[in-house]
Copies of this chain bind each other. A is one copy, B any other.
Amino acid sequence: MQVLAEIGVLFPNQEALAVFEKHGVKADGQKVFLTEDQVMKAIAQAPAQFTIHARNSERDVRIGDGVPVLAPGYGAPFIVDLDVGKRPATMDDYHKLAKLAHALPNQDLSGHLMAEPADIPPKTVHLQMLHAHIVHSDKPFIGSTAGAAGAGHTMELASILFGRVGERPVTIGLINSLSPLGYSCEMLEALLVYAHHRQPVIVAALSMAGSTGPITLAGVLGQQNAELLAGITLTQLINPGTPVVYGSASTNLDMRTGGLVIGSPEFSMLTGAHADLCRYYGLPSRSGGALTDSHSPDVQAGYESMFSLMTTFNSGIDIVLHAAGILSSFLSFSYEKFVLDDEICGLVRHWLQGFPVDEETLAFPIIAQVGPGGNYLMEMHTLGRCRTEFWQPAVSSRDGIESWMAAGRPDATHRARQRWQKLVAEHQDPPLDPTITRQLQVLVDKQ
């Protein structure tokens, strides 16, 4: 609050500044100074929970009710594949990734900007990506926040699918702050469009302890809290009640390489503290994911991704962007890791359910019948449950060590490749009204 009142936050956008001015917020040029009273009154108007509607209502997702909603990785410029390593993403990749986002059972939102295609002009690439999600999946899609154009096109496409946009949330956009203590003009343009249409936004910081934030994690947390509260306040001044999620992807630099790290304990410490702040403010939270600094789906990618996913779930985060597919400290996306991460999302979700304890499962009569030194394998209690009692992986292997040797020592990455190729090959777009299909295509083609 002291940062907001005394240091201020930069809003380089005339419309945003005009909104603040209209509500009596003190400003100095593009720098805005908010009082605790102004902030707390504004954020009190944002809902603690909301639903994002999908074109298939069975796919609707509820944000903020204690069950984490998962979405694929976001914003990687590169693909890492098993053959050549790092390469630029293409629109062909994007179609495949959108199909996988639809097929993978633990991704609740189909995502956006998973890996940005480099073979489409930057001015229209957001439209191509949005269109891919809308036709390949009936899950809720994340919208574009590529300035006024990206946000505007998101609203146009959504209005074709859902009719007038504004009645209820039908997408969600990611608004990043520009640390320290500012926003880019492009992001503010998008924020304005989303808020005018009463569509949800995640307002999120990616501060780096040691460069765009203080090196101490408490300092990062305090600074980003000021940034985020200022942005969230703006959404409520524009359109009170607009759903907004308080987000963090902040972390530390590795001081030896100068690079951002996301598989670090520091990222996960910030996630936990961030989630506490969200609960304090009564706002839904976004952080975490299956995060790694490795550049391939190797053992490091495995343990770092599971670590950050577990700390995310433990922290009680509401939206988990980057829940699957990300490598290289956000810089690359992997098909193989996409299916592997979706599997570990399922594993963790299953584990969280626990197991039932009742007379039937305590099985005293069976224990008495089998007796000391006996075996349960052929008991009806076993046979009747043997296909359903336990979680079954789709990619992880449980073959014996002799089979593994005989098969030439395959690893999980190669099974993951088989799985994503099969899922892409078997993909069928979910049914969509032909008129809507045509209208969507017309909008995309005219750009």
Taking beta carbons and an 8 Å cutoff, which residues of A are in contact with B? 2-3, 6-10, 31, 78, 85-86, 178, 180-182, 209-219, 221-223, 252, 254-257, 259, 261, 263-266, 268-269, 272-273, 293-307, 310-311, 314, 328-329, 331-332, 337, 340, 344, 347-348, 350-351, 354-358, 360-364, 366-368, 370-377, 381-382, 385-387, 389-392, 395-401, 404-405, 409, 411-413, 416
Of B216, B340, B376, which contacts A299 at CB under 8 A? B340
Q: B306 near A355 (CB under 8 angstroms)?
A: no
C-alpha gap A411/B371 in the complex (Å): 49
Residue on B with the closest CB to A214? B363
Residue on B with the closest CB to A366? B214
Most B CB contacts (10 A, CB to CB) among A221, A358, A370, A395 go to A370
Q: A216 near B361 (CB under 8 angstroms)?
A: yes
Q: A298-B302, A389-B216 are in contact. Are A257 and B400 (CB under 8 A)?
A: yes
Q: A412 near B217 (CB under 8 angstroms)?
A: no
Q: A222-B362, A363-B216, A375-B211 are in contact. Are A300 and B412 (CB under 8 A)?
A: yes
Of B182, B300, B395, which contacts A396 at CB under 8 A? B300
Q: A372-B182, A398-B257 are in contact. Are A303 and B389 (CB under 8 A)?
A: no
Q: B211 near A351 (CB under 8 angstroms)?
A: no
Q: A215-B382, A215-B385 are in contact. Are A373 and B180 (CB under 8 A)?
A: yes
Hey, which chain B residues are within 8 Å of A211, CB to CB? 375-377
- A77 CB to closest chain B CB (Å) equals 10
Q: B297 near A361 (CB under 8 angstroms)?
A: no
Q: B332 near A401 (CB under 8 angstroms)?
A: yes
C-alpha gap A85/B406 in the complex (Å): 11
Of B85, B213, B217, B252, which contacts A405 at CB under 8 A? B85
C-alpha gap A311/B412 in the complex (Å): 22
Q: B387 near A255 (CB under 8 angstroms)?
A: yes
- A101 CB to closest chain B CB (Å) equals 20
- A374 CB to closest chain B CB (Å) equals 6
Q: Can you give 23 contacting A-B residue pairs, CB < 8 Å? A: A178-B373, A181-B371, A182-B373, A215-B385, A216-B362, A218-B361, A223-B367, A254-B398, A293-B396, A293-B397, A295-B397, A295-B405, A298-B298, A299-B301, A299-B416, A300-B412, A304-B396, A307-B344, A307-B348, A314-B314, A328-B401, A331-B401, A332-B401
Hey, which chain B residues are within 8 Å of A397, CB to CB? 293-295, 300
Q: B376 near A213 (CB under 8 angstroms)?
A: yes
Q: A7-B372, A219-B362 are in contact. Are A351 and B268 (CB under 8 A)?
A: yes
C-alpha gap A377/B214 in the complex (Å): 9
Cβ-closest 3 pairs across A and B: A302-B302, A219-B363, A181-B372
Hey, which chain B residues are within 8 Å of A371, CB to CB? 7, 180-181
Q: A293-B397, A347-B265, A398-B259 are in contact. Are A300 and B298 (CB under 8 A)?
A: no
Hey, which chain B residues are within 8 Å of A215, CB to CB? 376, 381-382, 385-386, 389
Hey, which chain B residues are within 8 Å of A218, CB to CB? 355-358, 361-363
Of B261, B265, B355, B381, which contacts A217 at CB under 8 A? B355
Of B181, B340, B367, which contacts A219 at CB under 8 A? B367
C-alpha gap A8/B373 in the complex (Å): 11
Hey, which chain B residues are within 8 Å of A355, CB to CB? 216-218, 266, 269, 273
Of B180, B259, B301, B303, which contacts A400 at CB under 8 A? B259
Most B CB contacts (10 A, CB to CB) among A347, A355, A366 go to A355
Hey, which chain B residues are within 8 Å of A357, CB to CB? 218, 221
- A385 CB to closest chain B CB (Å) equals 5
Most B CB contacts (10 A, CB to CB) among A311, A340, A367 go to A367
Hey, which chain B residues are within 8 Å of A213, CB to CB? 376
Hey, which chain B residues are within 8 Å of A399, CB to CB? 257, 259
Hey, which chain B residues are within 8 Å of A214, CB to CB? 361, 363, 366-367, 370, 376, 381-382
Hey, which chain B residues are within 8 Å of A219, CB to CB? 361-363, 366-367
Q: B216 near A368 (CB under 8 angstroms)?
A: no
Q: B368 near A7 (CB under 8 angstroms)?
A: yes
- A406 CB to closest chain B CB (Å) equals 10
Of B295, B302, B307, B328, which contacts A300 at CB under 8 A? B302
